[in-house]
Structure 1
């Protein structure tokens, strides 16, 4: 007969296994919680010291980018691991932050421009599944180059079909809407990189239309003389009509590609959660990134003349862009703030993230929070450690059982 303490090894190991599994469930729940910090701006300390005083009429917007979904083409590691956690990230972020609206700044698909319509349907199904309980809330999606292709592969019919799959987009992939008295304009930035392309001319018409609306609202006039000549963004002579509206009084501008940074006056908050002092220029040290299906250029920005045209025509209140996969907070020469949203997927970076913007009811400055998510390397290390511990426990239980049987 075995000693009493050896006879108790089996139930103890079973209890330990149960504790490990319970801890795993708890860990998965906790690791999905985002860590958010307000990004400070110079000379606005009071605003950030009191950012926690949320008014019911404030508009809180969750802004994500570069989901790089693969739909039915996803490998097993995505299906059983990365996509699962991406869904958890969305669910926890929405539960905790309670945003009023969701913005997705392009590249929903990792290779949408190469997909058939049925394959795109599987990506859309995956995207709607990610939204989960937020699907009934307002959301707006703009198109990225991975969704519709670069200039050489840009197809008008394909863009029209993909744009029709998302709410609020016209046939050129642009949109304009208002929520809680905040005006938003989204542009197909991919088309603005292309030369004499029908889609680019359609985007220019949207910009001019929004510029007219802005001037009419500002000047309280009902008639404006519009220059009949087409505006060419590819030439050095940009023929926009001078907009007398002051900078920052226009709509919130949404783009996939960042605007050209004319001056090197970017800044970063030292409170970014990973403690790293990043730079808006840091992406230039890595011209191509291994993302999705292989090397990929992350340096696209709108050219200087297109950037200046947008500033003159729209006078954006603030600009949100994406594509670079990194967070960046930049002040342009005219005082316009541009926030580049990082990629929200482990397919793009080890430490994904997103942005939360709060638009105050009094029309003041926009409060921007950078939210970081768990690093894939940390989660994998935790899973490996738990797996080793669980296997050790099972081996211990089996060894004890064999000893009991022999006795």
Structure 2
């Protein structure tokens, strides 16, 4: 397999010229390093086009040049990606935007494959076995080892074959229009919101008042330090441990060291993080953050829903089971047939158990028309208890 690594403006122009002369869609993928670096930016962009070849674009240090060189060629064109939602944000950060998308992972799920990962799909449609042993590497490293480069190139060279094979399957199953709606929906998704300490998983288990102040203080210190050093925040202190510290509120370095998961053996970690923790203890209670107000239109947690709203919970369970049965009959993953969050929202808002009402509420919540047509009748029936 032939491919070219391009990592400077001169080779960028050569690659862009070759890609422009090719034909058909662009097969695109990225390699990121969020386990090692502060953000989820792309450190490698793989592009393959029939008649042009395969190019591995290394943008670090030349991101503006990547944008100015490749945007005129790639932007507005037809792209093929696998699990596009993982790659589109980092590509957008480089100023690269598709005109249309064919997502082979999503297409495989619509087609009924239980294992829609790239390696399984490539083997299914081409008979080629991919070595998928480098997915968790530090792709910000330079120079990239040759075997890593080959691994990255293989992520795109078979995407055209996958898209063509999956198109035939979806067309035969009458699912091509549903796929088109899903692909269009991918392009309409808003940018990934900026994270804050309020987004910490498990924060709802932290006591209000001082606990929230500890969480905020630790998160803000971690974020500032991670941004300054271009390090993954979780490599400094995992969010799970951060929340546990806020929950347990250790008062001495020894107590901090005993918090489950805390990197006590890391040199200087106890003293450094206890200094940060101490800052929270010295903040006046009048400046502690208030607990986040719960919105009435958001479903409660599973346990709270079951405990405080048992009748509504029973309606949700009935609807969920009905959709799972329908998904099985259509050979579509249940979460693709209708995202669980949409079902929870519709049931929680107490929509009447008739098809028209369910359909209107699903559309308002963001379901695609094909989903609404498929699930509204069985959801309404389940909500009526019949």
TM-score range, shorter chain: under 0.3
Question: Structure 1 length as normaliser, TM-score?
Answer: 0.21
Q: What TM-score do the two structures reach when normalised by structure 2?
A: 0.22
